[in-house]
Amino acid sequence: MLKLLQGVVDFHDNVLPKIQERFRELAEGQKPDALVVFCSDSRVAFNLFASTDPGEVFVLRNPGNLIPPCEKDLVPSAAAASIEIAVSLLNVRDVIICGHSRCGAMQALVDHEQDSPFLKEWVKHAHGARNYFSKINFEPDFTERDQLSQANVLLQMDHLLTYPKVKTLVESRQLQVHGWWFDIVTGNVFSYEEDLKKFQVIDQILFDKIQKRLFSK
Ligand SMILES: [Zn+2]
């Protein structure tokens, strides 16, 4: 706890003076580029590996980066409200769902221990992940947990499309949905490439390919 408090003091004394103006601008309103959905795991440092600044991404964060499918009777959830804000009010153009290696929520899918009943119930939203194994050429040394984690990204991309507004915007190409995956061991970030049926490391070569794809639509 003291480390966090000291961090606040350091931010106030050393960082804030350099970026105070940016916060004054942000106080007038936010216009993030994308909605990003990633896991609560403390090691998934999205802002670090995507080099983002305050105001650039709207975040939905929960164990397992899950998006419960849309309920017809407007059952409130953090996911539904976040999607609504990002897509209907902030008009983001992209949604990124980002899974990660060694995910505890994915482990809960394969474990049989009963010490975490709430987590067990929550990860039911990832139960269909195995159905997506055929869409991914996994690395040979991948654990079952990491396979589930990548497949779960594709499942959650489909769950996102159960929200009518999202589906409409995607079909009219006003919104794009991307699947990413973060490897904690190497620090590499991957993008799901449908034509290759695999998650590919985002490097300059893949950046150029994705850029062409984005502008061809
Ligand atoms: Zn996780």
Q: What is the per-residue pLDDT for 144?
A: 93
> Rounded to the nearest whole angstrom, what is the distance from the C-alpha of residue 19 to the centroid of ligand 1?
31
Q: What is the DSSP string of 169-192?
A: HHHTTS-EEEEEEE-TTT--EEEE
Residue 147 reports pLDDT greater than 90: yes
**In the structure, what pLDDT confidence band is assigned to residue 71 with cuts at 50, 70 and 90?**
confident
pLDDT tens digits along 176-214 = 999 999 999 999 999 999 999 999 999 999 999 999 988
Q: What are the residues whose beta carbon lies below 5 Å from ligand 1 (ion)?
A: 39, 41, 103, 105
The whole-angstrom separation of Cα 203 and Cα 8 is 34
Tokens of 217: 């639509």
> Rounded to the nearest whole angstrom, what is the distance from the C-alpha of residue 125 to the centroid of ligand 1?
14
Query: For the chain, how are helix, strand and coil distributed in percent, rounded to 5?
Result: 50, 15, 35
Mean pLDDT, residues 124-132 taken together = 96
List of domains in the chain: 30-216 (3.40.1050.10)
> Rounded to the nearest whole angstrom, what is the distance from the C-alpha of residue 54 to the centroid of ligand 1?
23
Tell which phi-psi region holds residue 13, choosing left (phi > 0), alpha (psi between -120 and 50) or beta: alpha
Predicted TM-score (pTM) of this structure: 0.94
Percent of the chain with pLDDT over 90: 88
**In the structure, what pLDDT confidence band is assigned to residue 217 with cuts at 50, 70 and 90?**
low
Residue 38 reports pLDDT greater than 80: yes
Q: What is the per-residue pLDDT for 36?
A: 98
